[in-house]
Amino acid sequence: MKTYSAPCLSGLVLALFIVLGGPTAGAAQMPVSAGSFQRIYDPSVGEKEKWYINDHTIIRGHDGLWHMFGITHAEPADPEREVKFAHATSPVLTQPQWTKQPFALTAERRHHEVLLWAPYVFEHDGIYHMFYCAGDPNHARYRIHQATSRDLWHWTRVAANPMVVDGYDARDPFITRIAGRWVLYYTANTTAQGGHHIVAYRTSQDLMNWGKRHVAYESPEVGTWGGPTESPFVVQRGEFHYLFTGPAGKYEATNVYRSRDPFHFQDSQLVGQIPAHAAEVVQDLDGTWYITHAGWGQQGLWLAPLHW
């Protein structure tokens, strides 16, 4: 889940230009930037009230469709009652009007889920895996769950949930594979009761059993709820790994850090700031890279070319 936090200490200033109610790239000359954002999905279509998409994930399925899953709720923001995952599809990633589908998943108390936040979906050996935050009444013991699917339309929770229990409000899981291991990045704090905001990570050989927590990035900011280390996303390009995380000083701001070590990022490695919230990185079939934007009051899901 993305929230607004206190101003980032980096002091980086961007000029923002608003097009059709959404953001466009800033003018800062940095190695990583974005082009103009265009809206590709409006969850309010067909509804009697305005709805939002917040943290989300995009994947192309074996059915030839692009699938988006994400936090959704009627405006205004109501994070503690975000209990359903939106699902939308499109045959073309950049198509301006994706098709709304029935909700993909609904929180269930019998599975110890009090909310549904920040899904991330990927495929391995013909199975789709969805990692997501299920919350908990105790903010120091937030649960990260897993569900699986063979078709991206029907999801089954794994019996071994939770995958991870951590705080404060441990959430926003992102999964990738590095050096033969699965790596789970997520946002948390230096202690389960609060402290510096961090991007934490754990590793696994089987996607079911996860090791001890380590820290990939520690922000100078201190707090509990929210913070500048939300929605971590790591992309490898050549010898470098790029960490996307935010909100960086304002709601619509994602910082990008570049490091040769995927398990160690620091403020001095800042290589970009993109005016996007809950940003995800996705590569189209022709190899073109894009970055997304969504959030409370943002009128849906937006997409922009990503320039490395």
What Cα–Cα distance (Å) separates residue 124 from each residue in 35, 53, 114, 216, 286? 31, 26, 28, 24, 22
Domains, the chain, with CATH or none: 18-307 (2.115.10.20)
The Cα–Cα gap between 305 and 37 comes to 8
What is the CA 28 to chain-centroid distance, rounded?
Answer: 24
Q: How far apart are CA 197 and CA 229, in angstroms?
A: 6
Read off the pTM: 0.91
The pLDDT of residue 241: 98
Dist CA 40 CA 293 (whole Å) = 10
pLDDT in tens, 140-186: 999 999 999 999 999 999 999 999 999 999 999 999 999 999 999 99
| pLDDT for the residue 30 | 86
Over residues 228-252, the mean pLDDT reads 97
Alpha helices in 82-198 (DSSP H): none
13: pLDDT strictly greater than 90? no
| Per-residue confidence band for 24, with pLDDT thresholds at 50, 70 and 90 | very low
Q: Provide, rounded to the nearest whole percent, the portion of the chain with pLDDT above 70.
A: 91
In whole angstroms, how far apart are CA 141 and each of 172, 239, 264? 14, 36, 25
254 strand-pairing partners: 274
Reading the block at residue 176, the tokens are: 């990738």
CA atoms in the 13 A half-sphere facing the CB of 75? 16
Query: Which candidate, 161, 146, 73, 70, places its Cα nearest to that of 112?
Result: 161
What tens digit of pLDDT does each residue of 45-85 get? 999 999 999 999 999 999 999 999 999 999 999 999 999 99
The share of the chain scoring above pLDDT 90, in percent, equals 89
CA 304 from chain centre, in angstroms, equals 16
- Is beta strand 33-34 parallel, antiparallel or unpaired with respect to 171-178? unpaired
pLDDT at residue 23 greater than cutoff 80: no
How confident is the model at residue 29, as a pLDDT? 67
pLDDT for 22 = 45
pLDDT of 90 over the 70 cut: yes
Given this model, what pLDDT does residue 225 score?
86
Between 16 and 261, the more confident residue is 261
Here the contacts of 99-103 (C-beta below 8 Å, separation 24 or greater) are 100/41, 100/43, 100/45, 100/46, 103/72
